[in-house]
């Protein structure tokens, strides 16, 4: 059911991209939008992990440097029948972690120094299981595809907006009849719709990773305690290393500020809702 929901959201984003391209530029606009989406998806597929790691100043670490992290990761990766990801450390006091990479054979997991210092063994296991769940479920690839399609929609809409402002937007009269209003609506509403679909998809994958991670460990209590601790410390310690563009990958949203409407435009569900969902789980064997 969750896989079908994810596929449906990606299809909706793709359809929206086609509609924007067609409404703004007709057949040519549609072709440009599709070509742009393919190009951007290719960039995301091959380079999104390198961009995320570089932008967060993550440094590769050996087993000798962080034996505790390697032990937890190795045990859980073997349990989930996954290859051992590359491990990175971020010189950051705020506790957090993220996984990146296009598939399980090209996956990396980065944790902050603050996370290693603040988490006990059960909590660290819960965090790592959550990140491995993203790897196992191909969430990084899914999120990258959604982000690039949404970005293509925004880019095409911006092209249409500037084209209309400077008089470069032109279509035949028979095509413009009844289509001008649709084009204007697409230019202003499509990027918002794309963003909301992308954010909904991101929040859905966080719930799924929480559940899969708890099943991987065999119980949800370590992850529950970790999320409670992460929520407390990330409200007190602003992030200095993780960039806003990478924050969507993190297990919890870093402190960048926020307001009353922040939950509507957040890549993460509210922590209290994630914790409540985990508290309804019993001890369930990994499957």
Alpha helical stretches, state H, the chain:
2-55, 67-79, 113-118, 121-136, 139-165, 173-176, 180-217, 221-234, 271-279
Distances 121 to 115, 124, 125, 210, 217 between C-alpha atoms, Å = 11, 5, 6, 17, 12
Instruction: Please tell me what DSSP assigns to residue 241.
Output: S
Neighbours of 40 (CB within 10 A): 19
Distance in angstroms (rounded) separating the CA atoms of residues 39 and 140: 18
* Beta-ladder partners of 97: 111
Residue 89: what are its φ and ψ, rounded to 5°? -120, 135
Please report where in the chains the tokens 């034996």 appear, as a residue: 67
Q: How far apart are CA 134 and CA 107, in angstroms?
A: 10
Catalytic residue ranges? 131
> Using CA atoms, how far apart are residues 160 and 21, in angstroms rounded to an integer?
9
CB 3 within 8 A of CB 148: no
Cα 35 → chain centroid: 23
* Other beta carbons less than 10 A from residue 259's beta carbon: 7
């Amino acid at each position: 059911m969750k896989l079908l929901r994810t596929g449906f959201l990606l299809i909706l984003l793709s359809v929206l991209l086609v509609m924007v391209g067609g409404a703004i530029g007709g057949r040519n606009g549609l072709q440009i939008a599709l070509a742009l989406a393919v190009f951007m998806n290719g960039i995301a597929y091959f380079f999104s992990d390198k961009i995320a790691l570089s932008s967060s100043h993550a440094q590769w670490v050996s087993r000798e440097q962080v034996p505790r992290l390697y032990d937890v990761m190795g045990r859980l990766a073997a349990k989930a029948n996954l290859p051992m990801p590359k491990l990175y450390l971020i010189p950051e006091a705020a506790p957090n972690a993220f996984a990146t990479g296009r598939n399980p054979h090209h996956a990396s997991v980065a944790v902050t120094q603050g996370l290693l210092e603040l988490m006990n063994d059960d909590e660290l296991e819960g965090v790592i299981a959550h990140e491995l769940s993203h790897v196992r479920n191909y969430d990084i690839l899914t999120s990258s595809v959604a982000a690039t399609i949404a970005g293509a929609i925004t880019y095409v809409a911006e092209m249409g907006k500037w084209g209309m402002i400077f008089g470069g937007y032109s279509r035949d009269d028979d095509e413009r009849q009844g289509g001008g209003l649709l084009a204007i609506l697409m230019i202003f509403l499509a990027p918002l719709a794309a963003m909301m679909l992308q954010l909904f998809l991101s929040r859905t994958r966080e719930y799924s990773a929480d559940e899969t991670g708890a099943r991987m460990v065999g119980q949800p209590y370590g992850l529950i305690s970790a999320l409670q601790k992460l929520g407390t410390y990330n409200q007190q310690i602003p992030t200095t290393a993780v960039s806003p563009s990478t924050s969507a990958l993190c297990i919890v949203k870093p402190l960048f500020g926020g307001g009353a409407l922040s939950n509507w435009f957040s890549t993460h569900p509210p922590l209290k809702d994630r914790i409540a969902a985990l508290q309804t789980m019993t001890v369930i064997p990994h499957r």
